[in-house]
Structure 1
Amino acid sequence: MTDIRRIVSSGSPLEPRIGFSRAVRSGRYVAVAGTAPIGDDGSTVGPGDVHAQTVRCLDIAERALREAGSSLGEVVRTRIMLTDITRWEEAARAHGERFAEIRPVTTFVEVSRFIDPAWLVEVEIDAVTP
């Protein structure tokens, strides 16, 4: 593949407002932006449930990877951001359900809050495609 920059949108109304893309592919590198647990209807998925929210974030990120010509198997780094780090194991369970065999490098960090206070977690992903 040539080094053509390709952007992927999830359709979020925040993308054009903020000026970001859900994912960007440049050559073999794919970056997926901080992905929140937003449902197709715009509401927060799994209010109060870190595991459900993490699953939703990963679903959105995986779809963006596919649209960029990549896959979970090509992920080299994930970042899990939580508003309450004491709940890391709930997010880790969702992460392990997807990445137990792939085993990218991973960082869990606590943040003070997200744009929507109902969001308990956001996920970022980096991948390198063949």
Structure 2
Amino acid sequence: MRQQVSTGSAWERHVGYSRAVRVGDTIHVAGTTAVRDGAVVGGGDAYLQTKAVLEIIVAALAELGASPVDVVRTRIFVTDITRWEEIGRAHGEVFGASRPAATMVQVSALIDPVLLVEIEADAVVGQAGS
């Protein structure tokens, strides 16, 4: 069975995607930025943007019956790799000891020039204790 979560963003409707999709025990979370109610959260602060991104991801996971410990992989896209420590600190605070496989790469731009970070996540539900 397929379950989908939407955060209601205009981009989801316009582009035709879901924030997250669960099929069986696997959840894929789309690239997520620090946008809430049409506004960028955290301004130019990479740490605050990353925290906001991860809060959105964690909420989508929860709607599909998962938590951060179920996340097995994240992909982090940043516009300024020199800010990796701020971004990594926020990532580490959310995932703690579960430590998913992670990639962080610099990209030339995200969809809005104010955005500094975008994160994708994959989770496998119920595997945290295995």
Query: Could you say whether these structures have the same fold, taking a TM-score greater than 0.5 normalized by the shorter chain as the test?
Result: yes
**Cα drift, residue 16 of structure 1:** 1.1
**Aligned amino acid, residue 117 of structure 2:** V
**Aligned amino acid, residue 32 of structure 2:** T
Aligned ranges for residues 105-116 of structure 1 at < 5 Å?
Answer: 105-116=101-112
* TM norm structure 1: 0.94
1:27 alignment partner in structure 2? 24
Q: Is structure 2 residue 110 aligned with structure 1 residue 101?
A: no
Q: For structure 2, which runs of at least 5 residues remain unmatched after alignment?
A: none
**Cα drift, residue 99 of structure 1:** 1.2
Distance 2:107 2:2 in 1: 30
How many equivalent residue pairs?
A: 126
Distance 1:27 1:56 in 2: 27
% identical equivalent positions? 54
1:6 alignment partner in structure 2? 3
Deviation sequence 1:35-82 (CA, Å, 0-9, x none): 00012x311011110000000000000000001111111000011110
1:45 alignment partner in structure 2? 41
**Cα drift, residue 100 of structure 1:** 1.8
Q: For structure 1, which runs of at least 5 residues remain unmatched after alignment?
A: none
**Cα drift, residue 106 of structure 1:** 0.5
